[in-house]
Amino acid sequence: MDEPSMQLVSEIGTHLAQRARPNKDFIVKSLRKAANALSQLKQSPQPRTAKEVQAAKKLEAALKPLANAVVCSGLLQHADKEVRLLLAICVTELFRLMAPEPPFEDKHLRDVFKLIISLFADLADTASPFFSKRDKVLDTVAQVRCCVIMLEIGCIDLVHEMFNIFFSVVRDEHHDSLISAMTSILINILNESEEASQQLLEVILRNLIKEKKVFLTNQQDAAYQLAASVIKTCAQEDELNLLVCGFLTSCIHNRDAMGSELKEYYHEIFFKVFECAPQMLLAVIPSLIKELLADEVDVRIKAVNLVGKLFALPEHHVAQKYHDLFVEFLKRFSDKSVDVRISALQCAKDFYLANPYGRESIITSVEDRLLDFDDQVRKLAVLVACDISSSNPKLVSSKLLSQATDRLWDKKACAVEFVCPLKDEIVKIQNF
């Protein structure tokens, strides 16, 4: 036990409490000394012997004056950024040393967490001289897991605020350890949350589908990366896994009864989650068959687009693993709706390029659409046939090329400006 550091922390707390209206200089110097002294102290292990119990009580007694000064001297309402930063450092160190018990009474905890969360809001400013210290506060909070206390004291609004702040301040230049700390905090709260878990999950999912590309690069938006990090971690947690799967299953089977605004985007959410953690959705993918058979045309179109994108993901072999889903997808090429047939055709080339499995079936489906009764479908089928053929001329059947060539004389489907380039393309393929 570091007796000098404990004594110094106790004295600083006493002096702060005794000053009626301390000036900023006094506060900053005092808190800086306190923060340094606190960092020298080690958290006591769970006391088992009489000696350990005595040591824990001694540490608690030494920290109490500072804890009281923080919450009872108006410091939590101080407007100066440096003061608030030093306060947050001291507060999180107190949480670390007193864990698992909070160092403050319940009536003060809301204001304490408001201070910490306000500090997180400044993490976007990576050029600030205070940035490294703010990062340290975040890291300490993640290690101590003290944010779950907000759930216990009913501060759900602060939890929501913190979730949204993380996604608004995260930046591409933030290092991996900072992203990891944010992810850890979000996961810990999702694990402990019960009533608010669905609402908090939706904050994650909203940022997962709000992906933006960084200007002039192919780099993904930092908020998306944070959301993806949470989802990847969720896949390893049974409760969170069930939470995500439950949301998507409800969207598929009982969408009208759901109150979430995200229910309209669940196909996009499904795909993004699968990209991050495909193993998470293994039990949900078969439910997409129901979507492909839905009465509503718009639902079938969205399902075709989603399933087509899943099939086109390299190295996942979704079509091979879920044969029944693949069979139902093929049937959409002959769907009674023109728009659904068009959607299926639009997925054909990407599927063909990504999958050795099922290529023959896709080619047959495209060939059949070359004779479709709708001219727009026939026109698209010609385009798709040429695209597939040009991508790998050696593997494409002569039948497909022959039928595509025949369609070029289809006056309804093929205008002059459409025909000439395709004739040249087919000749090149045939002469390959």
Interval 287-331: pLDDT, tens = 999 999 999 999 999 999 999 999 999 888 999 999 999 999 999
pLDDT at 294 (0 to 100): 93
Half-sphere exposure of 340 (CA within 13 A, CB side): 24
Measured distance CA(349)–CA(330) in Å, rounded: 13
pLDDT at 217 (0 to 100): 41
Measured distance CA(284)–CA(248) in Å, rounded: 8
**Residue numbers of the chain with a pLDDT score lower than 50:** 214-219, 415-420, 422-423, 426-427, 429-430, 432
Query: End-to-end distance of the chain based on CA atoms, in angstroms?
Result: 81
DSSP string, 328-339: HHHHGGG-SSHH
Strand partners, 220: 213
Half-sphere exposure of 10 (CA within 13 A, CB side): 11
Measured distance CA(4)–CA(8) in Å, rounded: 6
pLDDT at 259 (0 to 100): 74
Residues 225 and 260 sit within 8 Å (Cβ to Cβ): no
Tell me the two tokens of residue 364. Answer: 């047959």
Measured distance CA(197)–CA(192) in Å, rounded: 8
Half-sphere exposure of 287 (CA within 13 A, CB side): 16
Burial label for 154, CB within 10 Å (0-12, 13-18, 19+), is exposed
Interval 168-182: pLDDT, tens = 999 999 999 999 999
Q: How far is CA 230 from CA 25, 183, 261, 262, in A?
A: 41, 6, 21, 18
Q: Give pTM, 2 decimals.
A: 0.86
Residues 389 and 370 sit within 8 Å (Cβ to Cβ): no
Residues in the chain: 432
Contacts of 39 (CB under 8 A, 6+ apart): 93
Half-sphere exposure of 384 (CA within 13 A, CB side): 29
Burial label for 144, CB within 10 Å (0-12, 13-18, 19+), is buried
Contacts of 342 (CB under 8 A, 6+ apart): 376, 377, 380
Tell me the two tokens of residue 389. Answer: 């053929």
Residues 119 and 90 sit within 8 Å (Cβ to Cβ): no
Any alpha helices (H) in 19-80, and if so which ranges?
Answer: 24-40, 50-72
Measured distance CA(107)–CA(105) in Å, rounded: 5
Measured distance CA(409)–CA(415) in Å, rounded: 9
